[in-house]
Amino acid sequence: MSTVIEQVRAREILDSRGRPTLEAEVVLRGGATGWAAVPSGASTGSFEAHELRDGDKARYGGKGTLQAVSNILTVLAPEIVGLDALDQVGLDRRLIAIDGTPNKSRLGANALLGVSLATAHAASAALGLPLFRYLGGPLATVLPVPCFNVVNGGAHADNNVDIQEFMIVPVGAPSFREALRYGAEVFATLRGVLHDQKLGTGIGDEGGFAPDLKSNQEALDLLVQAIEKAGYRPGADIAIALDVAATELYKDGQYHFEQQALSAAEFIAALAKWVDSYPIVSIEDGLAEDDWEGWQQLTERLGGRVQLVGDDLFVTNRSRLQKGIDLGVANAILIKVNQIGTLTETLETIALAGRHRYRSMMSHRSGETEDVTIADLAVATRCGQIKTGSLARSERVAKYNQLLRIEEKLGDSAEYLGQRAF
């Protein structure tokens, strides 16, 4: 069956926030097709690849994606028709060259990513392989530990706590299927705990609860209560992970947190206190995207005890990660395909991280679609960890459900690392 690209299609669709994004389809000469939809962030890092928006205020307040769609159809498609979909690296290099800018601002990283991922899907379909197997080969056997974001704050929910994500992490589960059950049971129990304390059970952008709490620490206490009430041991069965998203708190060299303006050292001390008191295994973006000195201190202080993940800090970008490695900053990287804009660059970043013993956590965006590619990518790369929201919004649950299917397909070969993933 020919794997030569014959046709590329694209259109504007909506994401889980009701905002426009785009999807792309790639059709191969032999008849196989691939499809991918592009996610979109809210707390975006300044160094992310450029997401092209139309700017026409009369449509979606200027947030439309028709220009990016048109760039796929009229600029990228004529150049890639005739290329072999099996040569993912060649295709992605070509996309980058056609755009010609360092951050994909001419054609849009959203345009490039749609084509890049849809091509991988088409190639795997042509070979009759699931995407995780096509990209990962025979060693794609590790199911990621899911980090369920059960309390949403910061930029993902209005009027509540400063910290963006409070996640529960089933490190003691024996398999992915059981990890999903642990998570869903604690999530259901948390609903009851909130209800009993007359706290709101409405949800935020990633499907976690967004109650109006007095403090960030109250969220940690609620998590521990829910874990225990559901019959699990905090730490041993279910640990906690945070995404502070501290870039959002940072202004004029200080961290604005709970009505105080803190220096990096003071903010690190506050985080360290939580690490002392709660079963925290991972802290993402504990400090801001450009506070490299603060990050060095944070890594010295806590890097030996917990995973420190760079999201806005590294933006899935090899050069930013290399700088972090050189400076001894963080010990893990968050992986978001649309922060960098092609599959090849995503895989290269994960490989660089691995060579330097930095762990990788696969991640969704706060604006998502029904596309589940990241589930397959997590398994293909053996990264061992994924965060893709809570258990109450279909665009999040879809990824977890895809992991169930993959686990089933792998049968006895499936591995779940639990605590060893951190």
Ligand X SMILES: C=C(OP(=O)(O)O)C(=O)O
CA 272, CA 212: separation in Å to the nearest integer?
24
Per partner kind, with CB cut-offs from 5 to 8 A, the member of Mg ion, ligand X, none near residue 365 is ligand X
Question: Least distance to ligand X from the beta carbon of 4, Å?
Answer: 35
Question: Hey, what are 392's tokens?
Answer: 């109450």
d(CA 24, CA 17): 19
Burial of residue 19 (CB within 10 Å: 0-12, 13-18, 19+) is: middle
Nearest residue (CB) to ligand X, 291 versus 407: 291
Q: Is 348 annotated as a binding residue?
A: no
- Give me the catalytic one of 206, 248, 289, 395: 206
Taking CB under 6 A as the criterion, the residue among 6, 9, 29, 42 binding ligand X is 42
Total residues found in the chain within this entry = 422
Q: Out of 25, 311, 371, 415, point to the residue binding ligand X (CB under 6 A).
A: 311
Q: Which of 95, 329 has the CB closer to Mg ion?
A: 329
Q: Could you say which of ligand X, Mg ion, none residue 54 binds, taking C-beta under 5 to 8 angstroms by partner kind? A: none
318-327 helix and 292-302 helix, angle to the nearest 10 degrees? 60
387 labelled ligand-binding: yes
From the list 21, 44, 88, 385, which residue makes contact with ligand X (rule: CB under 6 A)?
A: 44
Between residue 208 and residue 267, which ones bind ligand X under the rule CB under 6 A?
Answer: 243, 245
Tell me which residue has tokens 């009993």: 196
The candidate with the shortest Cα–Cα distance to 324, out of 344, 294, 302, is 294
- The secondary structure of 1-35 as a DSSP string is ---BEEEEEEEEEE-TTS-EEEEEEEEETTS-EEE
Residues in region 279-308 near ligand X by CB under 6 A: none
Residue 92 interacts with ligand X (CB under 6 A)? Answer: no
360 annotated binding-site participant: no
Asked if 336 is an active-site residue, the reply is yes
Query: Considering the rule CB under 6 A, would residue 363 count as an interface residue with ligand X?
Result: yes
* 3-class DSSP state of 349: helix
- The yes-or-no answer on residue 206 being catalytic is yes
**For residue 399, what are the β-bridge partners?**
none
Only one residue has tokens 């994606």, namely: 65
DSSP code per residue over 317-352: -HHHHHHHHHHT--SEEEE-HHHH-SHHHHHHHHHH
What is the closest distance, in whole angstroms, from the C-beta atom of residue 388 to ligand X in the complex? 9
Count Cα atoms within 13 angstroms, Cβ side, for 335: 31
Does 311 help bind Mg ion (rule: CB under 5 A)? Answer: yes
Q: Choose the one of ligand X, Mg ion, none that binds residue 366, judging by a C-beta under 5 to 8 angstroms depending on kind.
A: ligand X
A 10 A CB-CB count for 314 gives 32
Q: Which stretch binds Mg ion (CB under 5 A): 22-30, 127-135, 311-319, 321-329?
A: 311-319
Query: What are the catalytic residues?
Result: 206, 336
| Binding site members for (2R)-2-phosphoglycerate | 164, 336, 365-366, 387
| Binding site members for substrate | 156, 165, 284, 311, 363-366, 387
